[in-house]
Amino acid sequence: MLAWLSRSVLPVATIVAAIIVIWYAAAIPMNSMRTYMMAPDDAEISFSELVSDTWSQKKPQLPLPHQIVREVKKQATFSWIWKEKRRGYKRSLIYHTWVTLSSTLLGFGLGLVLGVSLSLAIVYSRVMDLSVMPWVITSQTIPIIAIAPMIIVIMAPMGLTGLMPKGVISMYLSYFPIVIGMTKGLRSSDPILEDQMKTWSATAFQTFLLLRLPSALPYLFPAMKISLAAALVGAVVAELPSGARAGLGARLLVFSYRSETIPMWANLVSAAILAGLLVVSFGMLERALNRRLGFRTAGEVSS
């Protein structure tokens, strides 16, 4: 127990503590501008006054951890769900996180389907291999922020507004790691095993199902983790040009116009927590699946 504590908790805790110390220290000079502006010309400001002011402003340059935590606590409310007129939801972080999460998951799902289909085409067709891969790579050199409004404009006349275009924009980022990982994975099967399947005169489909697909999984899972994080970025960016009112990205934009830095940071923190939860829950799924498939997991030794 003690060993576990010192091995896994201690290093993390040390880093977090260091960051917090630096954060509070940096807030003093960064927020002091406003302190001096607000004070009367001839006022003498002592150091303790300076500290207490810079750590408690309403619109600080750099909000402090305790302010952000207080804001998150205040806004992370479910009460809009059962309030009669549903008025509260506009400020609820839970609501906006949910909106962003839904387009993240849609974008991730679409990206997974598109990515896997493309890599199948690339691996099984020489023509596709030569023609598709360069486009896939080119697609990622165009900034998402330039593509996003075009996707919205193109999809609107088809009656696709709201969730769908946001999902598509998110997919634009999330399919890429999948294509790369899955293509590499499908090509990673052991040549001896390929020969082995051939000697049993297995069909192409049997070889795919029994050999190529399982060989690809160790490449697909990490790709899916990256893709999940990319889908979240895409979902947040998708909310910026769409005129959306809901979602973490939309709220971020609104608060930045009003220079409401504390809610901005609260939104950022929510996005980070969401990303962390997504990746961690996916990691658990991966481990369970690996065990189910009998893949050797790290830490196990042969007996």
Partner 1 sequence: MSVVTAEGLSLTFPGDVQALKDVNLSVEAGEFVSFIGPSGCGKTTFLRVVADLEKPTGGEVRVTGLSPEEARMQRAYGYVFQQPGLLPWRTVEGNIRLPLALMGQDKHVMAERVASVLKMVELDGFGTKYPWQLSGGMQQRASIARALAFDAELLLMDEPFGALDEIVRDRLNDQLLDLWRTTQKTVLFVTHSIPEAVYLSTKIVVMSPRPGRVAKVINNPLPPDRPLEVRESTEFLAVAAEVRNTLREGMD
Q: Which residues bind partner 1 (CB under 8 A)?
A: 190, 192-193, 195-196, 198-202, 206, 210-211, 214, 293-296, 302-303
Minimum distance, C-beta of residue 208 to partner 1, in the bound complex (Å): 13
The smaller minimum CB distance to partner 1, of residues 79 and 297, is found at 297
Shortest spacing between CB 215 and partner 1, in angstroms: 9
Q: Judged by CB, which is closer to partner 1: 44, or 195?
A: 195
User: Nearest distance from residue 117's CB to partner 1, in Å?
Assistant: 24
Q: Pick between residue 76 and residue 193 the one whose CB is nearest to partner 1.
A: 193
Residue 84 or 195 having the CB closest to partner 1 = 195
Least distance CB 250 / partner 1 (angstroms): 44
Residue 71 CB-half CA count within 13 A? 22
Nearest 5°: phi and psi at 206?
Answer: -65, -40
Calculate ∠ Cα 231-233-235, nearest 5°: 65
Q: Which is nearer to partner 1, 88 or 214 (CB)?
A: 214
Q: What is the DSSP string of 152-219?
A: HHHHGGGT--THHHHHHHHHHHHHHHHHHHHHHHHT-S-HHHHHHHHHTT--HHHHIIIIIHHHHHHH
Phi and psi, residue 243, nearest 5°: 70, 20
- Nearest to partner 1 of 85, 292 (CB atom): 292
In angstroms, give the least distance from the CB of 198 to partner 1. Answer: 6
Buried b / exposed e over 204-221, threshold 16 CB at 10 Å, is: eeebbeebbeebbbbbbb
Closer to partner 1 by Cβ: residue 201 or 259: 201
Instruction: Rank residues 46 and 203 by Cβ distance to partner 1 and give the closer one.
Output: 203
Q: How far is the CB of 203 from partner 1 (least distance, A)?
A: 9
Looking up tokens 């630096």 gives: 22
Rounded distance between C-alpha atoms, residue 76 and residue 91, angstroms: 9
Q: What is the residue whose two structure tokens read 């059962």?
A: 82
Q: Which long-range contacts (CB under 8 A, 24 or more apart) does 284-292 make?
A: 286/221, 286/224, 286/225, 289/217, 289/221, 290/221
Query: In sequence order, which residues have a C-beta less than 8 Å from that of residue 237 and are 6 or more positions away?
Result: 144, 145, 148, 169, 249
